A and B are shown apart, each in its own frame.
Chain A
Amino acid sequence: KQEVTQIPAALSVPEGENLVLNCSFTDSAIYNLQWFRQDPGKGLTSLLLIQSSQREQTSGRLNASLDKSSGRSTLYIAASQPGDSATYLCAVLVLTNAGKSTFGDGTTLTVKP
């Protein structure tokens, strides 16, 4: 059974800092990995999707990498802003799991002005 872990559970940084969020998974036979952002009381917003054949994806100040062999993905946020404060979740789709993703519990990020 795929298990997805996100460490740390919470992170607080000053504005302008570059930061890395981590996601690890136990089954490396994945189809894709997706990073989401969730603001309090809101739904999940898709940030980046990395297919298993890809090493990284970039969108603006966000860069996500994938290393299947080590079962890890990182989300890099450059020049953090208070508006980046949210919970970030990763979700892994395993090849044998018929479309069902497994989610980590998320990292809650606070960017202080």
Chain B
Amino acid sequence: DAGITQSPRYKITETGRQVTLMCHQTWSHSYMFWYRQDLGHGLRLIYYSAAADITDKGEVPDGYVVSRSKTENFPLTLESATRSQTSVYFCASSESRSEAFFGQGTRLTVV
């Protein structure tokens, strides 16, 4: 199916565990983004990528790692999950400075 998909949709993990959230898009968009959405904070950018092998920090990058070896994939890794990383995570993609499209989100709970 065309579009942008995230997996898993729901994840519960323990403090200190490593977790990887997956994002895949089928449009070959140059830009990909990871956001977290929390009550009271709105959408905050974690990391973004302008092309394969090019990534940069957003507003709240601490505790997260990204990679982009292929244009269509942009995984987000929590190296050692903390309770403060409990959130809803959204992946998005866009062609350069054009309309952005979002995935359905991953609801992550760290216990």
Contacts and interface: CB of A to CB of B under 8 A. Distances in A.
B-side interface size class: 20 to 34
Interface stretch (B12-20, B42-50, B74-82): B42-50
Contact of B98 (A36, A49, A100): A49
A8 B12 CA distance: 34
B69 interface: no
Given A49-B99, A93-B97, A99 B42 contact: no
Contact of A105 (B42, B94, B104): B42
B42 A100 contact: no
Contacts of A103: 42-43
Interface stretch (A10-18, A40-48, A58-66, A73-81): A40-48
B42 A104 contact: yes
Contacts of B45: 100
Nearest to B43: A103
Per DSSP, chain A at the interface is strand
A32 B95 CA distance: 13
Per DSSP, chain B at the interface is strand
Contacts of A46: 99-102
Contacts of A89: 42-43
A-side interface size class: 20 to 34
A42 B56 CA distance: 26
Given A100-B45, A104-B42, A106-B42, A42 B100 contact: no
Interface in B80-111: 90, 92, 94, 96-105
- 9 closest A-B pairs by CB: A44-B102, A105-B42, A43-B104, A103-B43, A43-B102, A49-B99, A99-B31, A31-B97, A43-B105
Interface of B: 31, 33, 42-43, 45, 48, 50, 56, 58, 90, 92, 94, 96-105
Interface of A: 31-32, 34, 36, 42-46, 49, 89, 91, 93, 98-101, 103-106
